Chains A and B, each alone.
Chain A
Amino acid sequence: MNSQNRPFGSYQQRFAGSSNPTIKNPSTQVSQDAQFNDRDCLNDMLATEKWLTDGFNVMAREASHQSLHNDIMNILNETHQATRDLFNLMFEKGWYTIQPEQPTQVAKEYQKFQGYESQFPQQQTTPYGSGGMYQPRQF
């Protein structure tokens, strides 16, 4: 079964007429009747995890003391990991299709936003991955 037939669980294709090949595994077959199948299970659980990350994101922001905030941040992070694991498993089973963007389009956007760099108030560029990260206040 092709995932494009089912809007739920597969991203809408922006460029249906794209010449780029889609990134996709062969679909694992599931029953197509009214039965709640394996794919439905993963979709439902993925939706649950997504919903939980929203909840914990708000909760982490609203927490009063630091130890509570830290616990919630850990739970948020692990819930994101669980969401990711479910997504990857669904991709592995061939239930997700990825449409690559045209490299010329990516290059165009890169150039555009590279030009915007001049608008930053502080002109020094922070080397990627080597410091320059926000330092939280120490107590």
Chain B
Amino acid sequence: MYRERYSQQYRMNQPPRVLSTKDCAYLTDALSWELLAAKKAHFMASQCSDQQIKQQLEQISQLHQTHYDVLLNQLNTTEHDHEHFGYQGFRQ
């Protein structure tokens, strides 16, 4: 299918918006990192006594959850044919 769409008729100046096998492998790795980091920061926050540290760790937990959603969206193939939701969509 891609071979027909991106045939010799025109030359691509950059890769099309298609996930490579490598992209997919990296994305699944990164999703696991972010999930673990979000849970870890949240757990750490619950263990800390200092209010300022608690707050900072909770904020970081939130950040990793946001990153998780961004990465997950790259795996969502139904999004890809339409205008991509993009990173900014997650920034409230």
Nearest CB in chain A to that of B84: its residue: A67
Q: Chain A: interface secondary structure?
A: helix
The number of chain B residues touching the other chain, given as a range, is 35 or more
Q: A45-B44, A45-B60, A86-B56 are in contact. Are A75 and B84 (CB under 8 A)?
A: no
Q: For residues 59 through 81 of chain B, which have their beta carbon under 8 Å from a beta carbon of chain A? A: 59-60, 63, 67, 70-71, 74
Contacts of A55 in B (CB 8 A): 29-30, 33
**Count of A-B contacts judged by CB separation below 8 Å:** 90
Nearest CB in chain A to that of B23: its residue: A64
Complex CA distance for A56 and B64, rounded to whole angstroms: 13
Within the complex, the shortest CB–CB distance from B87 to chain A, in Å, comes to 5
B9 at the interface (CB under 8 A from A): no
Complex CA distance for A36 and B53, rounded to whole angstroms: 14
In the complex, the answer to whether B47 meets A52 with C-beta atoms within 8 Å is: no
Identify 17 residue pairs between A and B in the complex whose beta-carbon atoms are under 8 Å apart, listed by A's number: A38-B48, A41-B44, A41-B53, A44-B44, A45-B44, A55-B29, A64-B19, A64-B20, A64-B22, A64-B23, A65-B17, A66-B17, A71-B70, A78-B67, A82-B60, A89-B52, A139-B13
Chain A residues at the B interface, C-beta cutoff of 8 Å: 28, 36, 38, 41-42, 44-45, 48-49, 52, 55-56, 59, 62-68, 70-71, 74-75, 78-79, 82, 85-86, 89, 93, 139
Chain B residues at the A interface, C-beta cutoff of 8 Å: 13-20, 22-23, 26, 29-30, 33, 37, 40-41, 44, 47-50, 52-53, 56-57, 59-60, 63, 67, 70-71, 74, 84, 86-87
